[in-house]
Amino acid sequence: MMGKKLKWGMVGGGQGAFIGAVHRMAARLDDRYELLAGALSSRPEKSAASAAEAGIASERSYLHWQEMAECEGALRRAGQGGIDVVSIVTPNHLHAPVASAFLAQGIHVICDKPLAISLAQAEMLQAQAARSGLVCVLTHTYTGYPMVRHARELVRQGAIGELRLLQVEYAQDWWAGGPAITGEGAWREDPAMAGPAGTLGDVGVHAYQLAAYVSGVEPSHLAAELSTFGHGRVLDDHVQVMLRYANGARGTLWASQVATGCENALTLRIYGTHAQLRFEQENPNELWLTPQGGAAQRLTRGRVQGQDALHATRIPAGHPEGYIEAFAQLYRDAADRIQAGGRGSTPEGLLPDFRDGVMGHRFIQAVLDSSHADSAWVSLA
């Protein structure tokens, strides 16, 4: 659904912030948003310079996100062009309070994960979002890939049979050595800003959400071990989890940011009674389907006919699409839903929302509880 561009604002994501630039590129790809307001940094000079660079007028560049929420809400109520939607790309501890402030002003929210820094905080925010009736999106980027959506559709069509085994891993090496993080990313090593989870909250929740998104089910119990290899590091940098499912299926989740030699190796393998599915994020334009007793089939973006994949496909087969396009798909789906009064053309469940955020925090809390109890089995109920 096309219409006027959405009036858009951003909190966080100023100069030097990787993810802020990604959000802006993604939003621009389908030309559905106009960036009009921002509180891009808590430092006045940097905030003003970042806003000017992003094309935001000086009178709509705010130093404090509280002021931005109040002013933009007032402009909306007065019919004077206040923003329709805000993107939140701050350190973790600000996600929930910023989202809550903008929801209170009737403004739709697109938020980075994790949703909050505790399960209780995430549940309170999700309840507020549900009461508001506003569109609330959580940017689990990898759900925007056409072949991830096709895998999800195949599972729901019964292509793999009943779930039997699941393996998901997310391996990086950027935290494998060297001194403590400095500069823009230093908050990642501060529990007051990052929350109680390091790698677990950064990429572990991505792996967990992807597994649940494609398989359609969450585990009932888990047993976990958190490790910290970095010298002097407070938060975890390596996660190992065993998973049990209600139907008797078993799974494993491994997330690490000290896996030497790994770049962004997010891999999902789902084994059913009839077939196996395998997706590798570093080769996102393909999906492998292997029937029991049959030959492996390489399915490629632009060639499969599933409606969920076609909905997220922009260009012909053989022209690679990647991370920015996947991110842009979330923005396009959000725009469709906002402009359609909360409905839109995206099927229910395809666009991750604050319910995914609560699910992620249930996982984080269960992993913390299990690891603290010497890897005892704990319930996710």
280: its two tokens: 């590798």
d(CA 146, CA 304): 9
Q: What fold does the segment set 143-315+353-372 form as a domain? A: Dihydrodipicolinate Reductase; domain 2 (3.30.360)
d(CA 370, CA 351): 30
The pLDDT, as a whole number, for residue 341 is 85
In the chain, which ranges are E strands?
6-12, 33-39, 85-89, 108-111, 136-138, 163-171, 221-227, 238-244, 250-256, 265-272, 275-280, 286-291, 297-300, 378-379
Residues with Cβ within 8 Å of residue 323, at least 6 apart in sequence: 22, 141, 284
Percent of the chain clearing pLDDT 90 (strictly above): 90
The pLDDT, as a whole number, for residue 186 is 82
Distance of alpha carbon 69 from the chain centroid: 23
Domain residue spans of the chain: 6-134, 143-315+353-372
Q: Which residues pair with 250 in a beta bridge?
A: 165, 244
CB count within 10 Å of CB 107 equals 23
Distance of alpha carbon 43 from the chain centroid: 27
349: left (phi over 0), alpha (psi -120 to 50) or beta: left
Relative to beta strand 85-89, strand 221-227 is: unpaired
Closest CA to 363 of 379, 342, 351: 379
The model's pLDDT over 155-190, given as tens digits with 9 standing for 90+, comes to 999 999 999 999 999 999 999 986 667 666 788 889
196: its two tokens: 């109680």
The pLDDT, as a whole number, for residue 77 is 96
Residue type (1 letter), 69? A
**Is the bond into 191 cis (omega within 30 degrees of 0)?**
no
pLDDT higher than threshold 60 for residue 237 = yes
The arithmetic mean of pLDDT across residues 18-32, rounded, is 95
Closest CA to 19 of 90, 86, 93, 117: 90
Q: Which residues pair with 278 in a beta bridge?
A: 269, 288
Structure confidence at residue 1 as a pLDDT band (50, 70, 90)? very low
Name the burial class of residue 72, with classes exposed (0-12), middle (13-18) and buried (19+) by CB atoms within 10 angstroms of its CB.
buried
The model's pLDDT over 58-113, given as tens digits with 9 standing for 90+, comes to 999 999 999 999 999 999 999 999 999 999 999 999 999 999 999 999 999 999 99
174: its two tokens: 């950027």
The arithmetic mean of pLDDT across residues 181-206, rounded, is 89
CB count within 10 Å of CB 74 equals 12
The pLDDT, as a whole number, for residue 197 is 96
d(CA 316, CA 305): 13
d(CA 336, CA 260): 41
Average pLDDT, the chain: 95
pTM of the entire predicted model: 0.95
The pLDDT, as a whole number, for residue 185 is 73
CATH architecture of 6-134: 3-Layer(aba) Sandwich (3.40)
The pLDDT, as a whole number, for residue 232 is 83
Q: How many residues are recorded in the chain?
A: 381
Residues with Cβ within 8 Å of residue 245, at least 6 apart in sequence: 163, 166, 217, 219, 220, 251
d(CA 211, CA 152): 10
The model's pLDDT over 293-346, given as tens digits with 9 standing for 90+, comes to 999 999 999 999 999 999 999 999 999 999 999 999 999 999 999 999 866 667
d(CA 150, CA 304): 8
Residue type (1 letter), 17? A
Residue type (1 letter), 367? V
